[in-house]
Amino acid sequence: MQPKTVNQSRAIKASMVFPPDTNNHGTMFGGKVMSYIDDIAAISAIRHARMPVVTASTDSVDFLYPIRRGHSACLEAFVTWTHKTSIEVFVKVIGEDLITGERNICATAFLTFVAVDEHGTPQPVPPVVPETDLEKRLYREAPERAQVRRERRKHSKAIAELFGVTTVWEDGPQNTA
């Protein structure tokens, strides 16, 4: 499989922030930002793999600065690392006051996707070739992030098993003493 550069997966999306996109503080809903992040990251992952992908995980989304109504949200995504069938994508979100030109990095996130065929079976993906110093750093640090994700996933599965699939109204009150 032919390796691909980071630039071959780069995707950029810009949107105006309108009143329905905002909360009672006049800033963009976090869930809306997260939806944009998943969308642009998927485009980047598909561009790299040239096949369908599914979201496997989203690392913490760190909201660093609010995006206000009337500003723009610009997202940039690119593949930082691959492993067999998985693709790690980094996303940064930049908010811009279109009148003053002031820009801030408002959020960052790493997401992992798995490339799949038409039956949902994981498929091999091309390796990624980092070129810049920043790309090389993200690539070098990726195995550690992947290990943290594996541990977090194990913990999530254990918690899910504790709770099971029934809801409180199906089970009735639980004795927590």
* Residue whose pair of structure tokens reads 């109504």 in the numeric block: 69
Q: Where are the domains of the chain?
A: 4-164
Structure tokens given for 50? 């040239």
Phi, psi angles (nearest 5°) of residue 47: -60, -40
> Alpha-carbon Rg of the chain, whole angstroms?
19
Digit-coded pLDDT (tens) for 65-100: 999 999 999 999 999 999 999 999 999 999 999 999
pLDDT of residue 163: 84
SS3 157: helix
Checking if the pLDDT of 145 tops 60, the result is yes
- The token duo for 121 is 């079976």
Its pTM surpasses 0.95: no
DSSP state of 173: -
Distances (CA, A) of 174 to 57, 161, 163, 167, 168: 31, 16, 11, 11, 8
pLDDT confidence band for 164 (50 / 70 / 90): confident
pLDDT band at 33 (very low <50, low <70, confident <90, very high): very high
CATH topology of domain 4-164: Thiol Ester Dehydrase; Chain A (3.10.129)
